Amino acid sequence: GAVVSQHPSWVICKSGTSVKIECRSLDFQATTMFWYRQFPKQSLMLMATSNEGSKATYEQGVEKDKFLINHASLTLSTLTVTSAHPEDSSFYICSARTGFTGELFFGEGSRLTVL
């Protein structure tokens, strides 16, 4: 199957700093990428949908200025958590698809810990 890679897999940062998480589709072109957040022992909550070359569409309640999403190419989307605070600590997962095949391919996830 198609491979989606996230980097870094684990990041620790100080409160007030910004952190960038990358999501890459390694062997296919991803027209659409999705970013999810998962709290411990909970389900995945969709944060935003990004299409290559256009602005991301954020879900209700997700702060656009805090979670900056860029989808500059067909193989790369980035999530930047700006001015991170301890409550932003979570597991962030990206997924990607090409066209509308009905299947999403997930990255390995990135664990963010804000001290």
Partner 1 sequence: AQTVTQSQPEMSVQEAETVTLSCTYDTSESDYYLFWYKQPPSRQMILVIRQEAYKQQNATENRFSVNFQKAAKSFSLKISDSQLGDAAMYFCALLGFGNEKLTFGTGTRLTIIP
User: Alpha-carbon Rg of the chain, whole angstroms?
Assistant: 13
Burial code of 42-68, b = ≥16 C-beta within 10 A, e = fewer? Answer: eebeebbebebeeebebeeebeeeebb
For residues 77 to 96, the per-residue mask of contacts with partner 1, x marking binding by CB under 8 A and - elsewhere, is --------------x-x-x-
Judged by beta carbon, residue 43 or residue 54, the one nearer partner 1 is 43
Contact set for partner 1, span 27-46 (CB under 8 A): 32, 34, 38, 42-44, 46
Whole-number Å distance between alpha carbons of 56 and 77: 10
Provide the minimum distance between the beta carbon of 15 and partner 1 in the complex, in angstroms, as a whole number. 24
102 near partner 1 (CB under 8 A): yes
60 near partner 1 (CB under 8 A): no
Provide the minimum distance between the beta carbon of 111 and partner 1 in the complex, in angstroms, as a whole number. 8
Q: Judge whether 101 and 30 are in contact, CB under 8 Å.
A: no
Whole-number Å distance between alpha carbons of 82 and 16: 8
Question: Residue with structure tokens 């409550």?
Answer: 87
Provide the minimum distance between the beta carbon of 38 and partner 1 in the complex, in angstroms, as a whole number. 8
List interacting residues with partner 1 (CB under 8 A).
Answer: 1, 32, 34, 38, 42-44, 46, 49, 91, 93, 95, 100, 102-104, 106, 108-109, 111
